[in-house]
A = this chain, B = another copy of it.
Amino acid sequence: MGTTDGARRVGRPRAAGRSDSGLEPRAELLLAAAELFTTLGYAATSTRALAERAGMRQASMYHYVSGKEELLAELLESTVTPSLAYARALLAEDARPAERRLWELCRADVELLCGGPDNLGALYLLPEVRSERFAGFHAVRAELRDAYRKLLAATDAGGVLAKGELELRTDLVFGLIEGVILVRRSGPERPVRVFAEATADAALRIAGG
């Protein structure tokens, strides 16, 4: 956050907080929300605290977002949308065997879930996230799980599984990947790449026999 935005926009009122990051106001709000929702809690974070942390007045915040829910929805989606895009590319590819492509998806997904300063996956378990307002996130996450299922079905071991078995194994692989959210919360600090590759190896073992 050390960069200074010399040409500060006129008409964008600011108070205290991250005022010199050079980010767009919406990006500042997302950054503030990521930090406050994961450290203070979603319910406990006021829009006032959000605006302050993002360096603007509460009233100005509503120029950029409709409220807390919109920020939460966008943060949640940011944890699945890149992986879904990558999964689609991997599904469309047929140069490499499905085992290798599944491994790649697992690795990339773990890197996404463990990347960034805040453990955004922890927000999945908020009771609020069950609501209809987060249908977009749930749809993307369901599509991502479905991509895992398709890649798994394309592997040698997955191709011979009955439907129920394939669903179960998909949940185990997907559960291992999302389980890194819990490991990250309490586990030791490790280079993300090492952890992501080890998790992908483990996923292949679950997938593969």
Contacts and interface: CB of A to CB of B under 8 A. Distances in A.
A132 to B, nearest CB: 15
A128 B41 contact: yes
A108 to B, nearest CB: 17
A168 B195 contact: yes
Contacts of A171: 183, 187-188
Interface in A177-191: 177-183, 185-188, 190
Contacts of A167: 188
A144 B180 CA distance: 18
A32 to B, nearest CB: 15
A175 interface: yes
What copy number does this chain have within its complex?
A: 2
B178 A182 contact: yes
Contacts of A23: none
B181 A199 contact: no
Contact of A179 (B43, B182, B198, B205): B182
A141 interface: yes
A164 to B, nearest CB: 9
A185 B125 contact: yes
B185 A172 contact: no
A184 to B, nearest CB: 9
A86 interface: no
A122 interface: yes
A206 B179 CA distance: 14
Contacts of A39: 127
Interface in A154-177: 167-169, 171-172, 174-177
24 contacts: A39-B127, A40-B127, A41-B126, A41-B127, A44-B127, A122-B125, A125-B125, A125-B185, A141-B186, A168-B194, A168-B195, A168-B198, A171-B183, A172-B202, A175-B179, A176-B176, A176-B179, A176-B202, A177-B179, A178-B183, A179-B179, A202-B206, A205-B205, A206-B206
